[in-house]
Amino acid sequence: MPTFTIDGRTVPVEAGRTLLDACRAQGIFVPTLCHQDGLTPAGGCRLCLVEAKGLPLPVPACSTRPFPGMVVATHTPRLRDHRRHTLELHFASGHHVCAFCPASGRCELQELARRLGLDHLGLAPPRAAPALDASRPRFGLDPGRCVLCTRCVRACAEREGARTLGVSGRGAGSRIAADGGRWGDAASCTDCGKCVEACPTGALFEKAVAAQGLRPRREREPAPAPGPLPPAERRVRVATAWLGGCSGCHMSLLDLDERLLALAPRMELVHSPLCDAKEYPEEVELCLVEGAAATEDHLALLARIRSRTRVLAAMGDCAGSGNVTAMRDGLGGAAAVAGRHAEGIDAGSAGPRDARVLPAMLPRVLPVHEVVPVDLQLPGCPPPADLLHHALAELLAGRRPALPGLCRLG
């Protein structure tokens, strides 16, 4: 039987099988988003690209059939960089706030971010969120969570035969539409739910169970125990800061419980909402920052933190991508949410002496790394206590924690 090579392994060329089939048979992980077994390959997400010797460009593994003598590489540095950047583009193309998504914990986009080590977004999502289509009695469509994989379109056509769904518009204006318009007006829809089952994100959902999640959630993998702590020569000067967020990350930090007490002799907490320090001090060795920059005073605080801190860690999804804090941008920004508060107002009512001026809101909520350089990202909403313990203990020991695969957005 003729053969070809994948990552140095000799594999038989079998009729009707794609490169993706061959990789899976060999236990080689190749990320996919638009592919689903039983549906016609689309090759649109561009995550499954692999390199073939002699071909000028990478090819999609889901729709490429091997030929005798073909030499394929699936995990080169070029491919890893491409997949991470492509995945970030998928996140940035919509409003993927994992904490508020009915698919969180079973979302394929979220799981790929974990496996590929995407821990924050360097690209800003769209300013305006597209309108939710809840016109169908049983189902809803959220275009802000859609990655245009077209699995729903193909499932509707190939599994149900209804051909209700399609792609409307062009470029950035492309949307999934039912019979070209609102889903509730689609006479061809049979309400079978096959499109919802095919959706890899939370873009399509059943209203009755949206709050509970559509499928069983994937449990987080516990972070490994940190390495041994060297003998303490002195205490490490540690700070935490709270910007625009809910304080959930600080609550998760407190969930270390006895483990936090065990680490306490190794650190000196010099500034935090958890202590009474008013001004951010000089010569801080580690600072954990929760929340996104939402007001002008947040920008000033971050500049002060960065200039006085050796290692700055962004703690949680708001710090890494804007997350829940940035949901105001999808509603029209600060002015739409807060009205005249966006410019700062005199909030006092007892006269000038007691007047207090609210800080001016920024036009767009900014993750920490868009304001100052960040040394470490600790994603999660909130990051689990196990992850925070692992990272904090490793940093106190002078080691950089190895986090890829241990944490996820949401």
Stretch (H or E) spanning 84? helix 77-92
Could you tell me what percent of the chain has a pLDDT over 90?
A: 72
pLDDT surpassing 70 at residue 199: yes
Residue 63: pLDDT above 60? Answer: yes
- The secondary structure of the chain in percent helix, strand, coil, rounded to multiples of 5, reads 30, 20, 50
* β-pair partners for 6: 9, 72
Ranking 90-104, 235-249, 287-301, 309-323 by mean pLDDT, the lowest is: 90-104
Sheet holding 59-60, edge to edge: 9-12, 3-6, 71-73, 49-52, 59-60
Would you kindly state where each structural domain of the chain is located, as residue ranges? 3-75, 100-212, 236-326+367-396
Class of domain 236-326+367-396: alpha beta
Determine the pLDDT at residue 407: 83
pLDDT for position 226: 77
| CA separation for the pair 177, 310 (Å, rounded) | 50
In the DSSP assignment, the letter for residue 156 is I
The percentage of the chain sitting over the pLDDT mark of 70, rounded to a whole number, equals: 91
Q: Which of 12-26, 331-345, 365-379 has the lowest mean pLDDT?
A: 331-345
- 77-99 burial by CB neighbour count: b if 16+ within 10 A, else e? eebeebbbebbbebbbbbbbbbb
The CATH code for residues 100-212 is: 3.30.70.20
Query: Is the Cα dihedral 228, 232, 237, 242 positive or negative?
Result: positive
Q: Is pLDDT above 80 for 219?
A: no
CATH number of 3-75: 3.10.20.740
Q: What angle do CA 53, 58, 59 make, to 5 degrees?
A: 100
Taking residues 194-213, report their average pLDDT: 89
User: What pLDDT is stored for residue 215 in this prediction?
Assistant: 53
User: Which amino acid, one-letter code, is at 105?
Assistant: G
pLDDT of 350 above 80:
no
Least confident of 14-28, 36-50, 218-232: 218-232
Q: Which two tokens stand for residue 129?
A: 């969120």
CA distance linking residue 6 with residue 19, whole number of Å = 9
Q: How many residues comprise the chain?
A: 410
Find all residues with CB under 8 Å of 369, minimum gap 6, and list them: 120, 122, 314, 320, 377
**117 Ramachandran zone, left/alpha/beta (phi>0; psi -120 to 50):** left
